Chains A and B, each alone.
Chain A
Amino acid sequence: MRTLLVWLAGGGLFAGSLQTALANGWNMPVGVTELSGDIYSLHMIIFWICVAIGVVVFGVMFYSLFRYRHSKGAKAANFHEHTLVEVVWTAIPLLILIGMAVPATATLKKMYDASDADLDVMVTGQQWRWRYEYLGEDVAMTSNLATPRTQIRGEEPIDESANYLLEVDEPLVLPVGQKVRFLFTSDDVIHSWWVPDLAIKQDTVPGFINENWVRIEEPGIYRGQCAELCGVDHAFMPIVVHAMEEEEFETWLADRREAAEQEAMGIDREWEMDELMTRGEEVYNAVCVSCHQQDGSGNEPAFPALAGNQEMLDDRDWHIDTVVNGVSGAAMPAFSNTLNPVEIAAVITYERNAWGNDSGDTVQPSEIAELLSD
């Protein structure tokens, strides 16, 4: 009897400390959608089932280890094989599993119903950034890691207030209360778009389109990361979702549409070297830096150096073609979908004139636009 009490107290203490641990951010988030709540509940049910089975099984085990010690003169019994016992311990787990499969099936069915969406967003994974396209809205953007490389490399201290590795230059903005359908694909390798608070993790597979959906219930900023190993900078392609009220979202969307039109108008005019260099440096540091490095030194053999790259400087057309269309069979992606003509022109100009490169020539947005329209 005393032993039983000790075991019960021990079990209670164990369960209590687990409960405390799980309540303190050591657990799956409940999230901000109905489905994320459902998934959290499934997780907790199966977790407590496991704890309960564990308490019984390990209870009997440790009781036996303690009670039937050879050193205390225990004499072994000689029983073995008992059909009823064996049937029972096969049947009970089976029943528990059936009980678990029912709610799991229901939740899974809901997750797979992406019909009747209010908004479609195309999510494209690319080494190592995300591209978001609001389908039918003429708004698209590319989302890059915002944490400075210098902090990652330890050249300056980590800014603890700035969401280290979980901050981007362009968050995905979504309306609260609407059903948003995501279409996932990839330009290169398989990535996986994961935001724990939305309970969405979906692989982006090159050449194929996957589907998932969300209806966010609370405005807020929700962070996640790529969850499928996708190369060198797998750790450095975070996801930030900014969920806002519907009217606010509509205003934002209209502003973005207008900004895109403005940018499109800039394509036709002649750009100065200084403007292109400034813009180009921004683009380079957001998009190119992870492979070709801040000083253009690259990382041979996969990522060639750009600083002092004579082949590149001598052949301007080849340089443009490489950035626009990528290199087939190598790590260099095509940027024709990711960057707009102004950005492409600016970054090529920058590469041709930075770090001691002295081509002295500019690439104009109009040239790129013409190339792309062919």
Chain B
Amino acid sequence: MAPKVPPQPTLEQSTTAAAGHGHAHEAPPKGLMRWLLTTNHKEIGTLYLIFSLTMFFVGGIFAMVVRAELFQPGLQLVQPEFFNQMTTMHGLIMVFAAVMPAFTGLANWMIPLQIGAPDMALPRLNNFSFWLLPVAFTLLLSTLFMPGGAPNFGWTFYAPLSTTYGPPSTTFFILSLHIAGISSILGAINIIATILNMRAPGMRMMDMPLFVWTWLITAFLLIAVMPVLAGVITMMLMDINFGTSFFDAAGGGDPVLFQHLFWFFGHPEVYIMILPAFGIVSAIIPTFARKRLFGYASMVYATAAIAILSFLVWAHHMFVVGLPLVAELFFMYCTMLIAVPTGVKVFNWITTLFRGSISFEPPMLFALAFVVLFTIGGFSGLMLAIAPADFQYHDTYFVVAHFHYVLVPGAVFAIMAGVYYWLPKWTGHYPNERLAQWHFWLSVIGVNLTFFPMHFSGLAGMPRRIPDYALQFADFNLVASLGAFMFGASQLLFVAVVVLCVRGGRKAPGRAWEHAEDLEWSVPSPAPLHTFDTPPKFERSSH
């Protein structure tokens, strides 16, 4: 009788020499059950990536509604109530359901392959972490159909707007975020356990690929801050439903306490969404510059420095909330300091390019655009760190421009670079280069048309999160909306490239990119369902 549960790792399996052969008798469940019950890191990675891409389009549709309403002054398409739901849901979905699961998906696929492990350390937990996500976000999206509508208080859900004044669906939103948070914590535990325990014999910590390093640090950030998020939303839940007054001044509470707690989670969260991107780019640039990364060790230290500093800068989101002078100064200095390790990273990438032998395959195009556009986002971040000037920048479109530069051509481009880089390993085929180039150029032009004018509209005085605006902002918004439609539409090309690549295309060898050195390139393409049943011999040449 065929087993109804997925195969469990046994001593026999882990000593089987040839990948795949030892499992022929354990036919996995067919159809939907296979995906529901899978404990295989590659299949779970695929699930994460498909989920993330789906949510990227859901969140993208919300963004299109926002940009369509802002196309010209006046209210044309939606009312302010619904507009606020769209901005809120766009932010929540993109952060928690698109970017974070995409990185977790890449981690699932690539970390075992990059450290020579047969799977994640806790495969069933891995399955559970993934399947929590569809539950969480089905719940969140269902609030759109509830009386009073979906959450409408921004993705930062500041109290008391989200508590005393929130819609009835707020409690569902809290539950959904709790579930997503549990998923993140379990995923992070799994990644740490895998990296610390399952590296190939001979691979020291300082031999690990940077994607593994950045994910290890990210996982610690997740474990540190997700409980804080859970705490703050639980306090909201109590305020809303059980008569407490954590954030209600009328009952002796403090609305600003909410912001301290939220941003103590929220700022590390920002780095959770960018550190793995650094790892991906640090793998791609040396591959296509045919030259080893200039400073491996300093990249590791810079990542750690950024992670530690991320706990000391939260109140730079709160410069105008009425902090005392010493607090403003402390948070201003700490925030400015982050520019140093971030600069080290950018200099490292560029020095790696210098005197390399550079070619421009699709992953490289996205990685190079990442370096330029993420750095522009870093510059505006440095400007925002200057507390006195932040009294003018705060809560304007300048901030919107800043964080979209680090998140879209930053995190999202890095994810796409990673997908193009590893698609040959996943599918055995190269992605269609011509289509990928179209996708790249349309995305780069679209993203800049969308977000560059926002710097100017912000400086000129346009607050964020408004459904209608004064006439002097009309031109900036028109351009931004056109750019957004272009960027949104060109992502359909990305789906086309991925689907075509899964179905066929030029065959890729095991080492799909000539100069790629990490362990994943030592297994065949496509990677068989089970790899490294026997630990590989790790040769210390790559770093």
Contacts and interface: CB of A to CB of B under 8 A. Distances in A.
A369 interface: no
Nearest to A108: B388
Contacts of A302: 148, 167
A325 interface: no
Contacts of A153: 74-75
Given A26-B456, A78-B292, A206-B255, A50 B356 contact: no
Interface string B319-357: 011100100110011001101100110110011011111
Interface string A213-238: 00000000000111111111111100
B153 to A, nearest CB: 7
Contacts of A97: 336-337, 339-340
A64 B291 CA distance: 13
Contacts of A192: 320, 394-395
B350 A80 contact: no
Interface stretch (B51-59, B293-301, B493-501): B293-301
A210 interface: yes
A302 B297 CA distance: 56
Contact of A299 (B76, B81, B383, B464): B81
Contact of A235 (B80, B158, B250, B297): B80
Contacts, number: 272
Interface stretch (B200-208, B264-272, B368-376): B368-376
Contacts of B356: 64, 68, 74, 76-77
A86 B165 CA distance: 52
B131 interface: no
Interface string A5-38: 0000000000000000100011111000000001
A205 interface: yes
Contact of A231 (B161, B250, B339): B161
B383 A68 contact: no
B249 interface: yes
Interface residues of A, number: 96
B337 A207 contact: no
Interface string A48-68: 001001100110110011001
B507 interface: no
Given A74-B358, A154-B76, A205-B256, A229 B158 contact: yes
A150 B147 CA distance: 27
A77 B477 CA distance: 46
A166 B460 CA distance: 14
B106 to A, nearest CB: 25
Contact of A301 (B148, B254, B460): B148
Given A21-B456, A201-B395, A202-B322, A100 B355 contact: no
B147 A200 contact: no
A246 to B, nearest CB: 26
A187 to B, nearest CB: 11
B161 A229 contact: yes
A235 B468 contact: yes
Contacts of B325: 108-109, 112
B194 to A, nearest CB: 28
Contacts of B353: 61, 64-65, 68
B297 A60 contact: no
A164 B321 CA distance: 28
Given A61-B353, A68-B355, A228-B395, A78 B291 contact: yes
Interface stretch (A88-96, A253-261, A341-349, A351-359): A88-96
Contact of A89 (B161, B289, B336, B344): B344
A272 interface: no
Contacts of B415: none
Interface string A87-128: 001100110010011001101110110000000000000010
A94 to B, nearest CB: 6
B336 to A, nearest CB: 5
B392 A201 contact: yes
Interface residues of B, number: 91
Contact of B470 (A43, A76, A166): A166
A182 to B, nearest CB: 12
B346 A57 contact: yes
A188 interface: yes
Contact of A188 (B73, B160, B328): B160
B438 interface: no
B8 interface: no
A107 to B, nearest CB: 4
B459 A26 contact: yes
A196 interface: yes
B463 A42 contact: no
Given A69-B358, A104-B388, A27 B379 contact: no
Interface string B244-267: 000001100011100000000000
Contact of B350 (A28, A60, A208, A224): A60
A108 B329 contact: yes
B332 to A, nearest CB: 7
30 contacts: A26-B456, A28-B389, A38-B388, A60-B350, A61-B353, A64-B355, A69-B357, A69-B358, A74-B358, A76-B290, A76-B356, A78-B291, A78-B292, A80-B292, A81-B298, A85-B351, A89-B344, A93-B339, A93-B343, A158-B471, A164-B73, A188-B165, A189-B165, A192-B395, A227-B320, A231-B152, A231-B161, A232-B81, A234-B465, A235-B80
Interface of B: 73-76, 80-81, 84, 147-148, 152-154, 158, 160-161, 164-165, 167-168, 249-250, 254-256, 289-298, 320-322, 325, 328-329, 332-333, 336-337, 339-340, 343-344, 346-347, 350-351, 353-359, 368, 371-372, 375-376, 379-380, 382-383, 386-389, 391-392, 394-396, 456, 459-461, 463-472
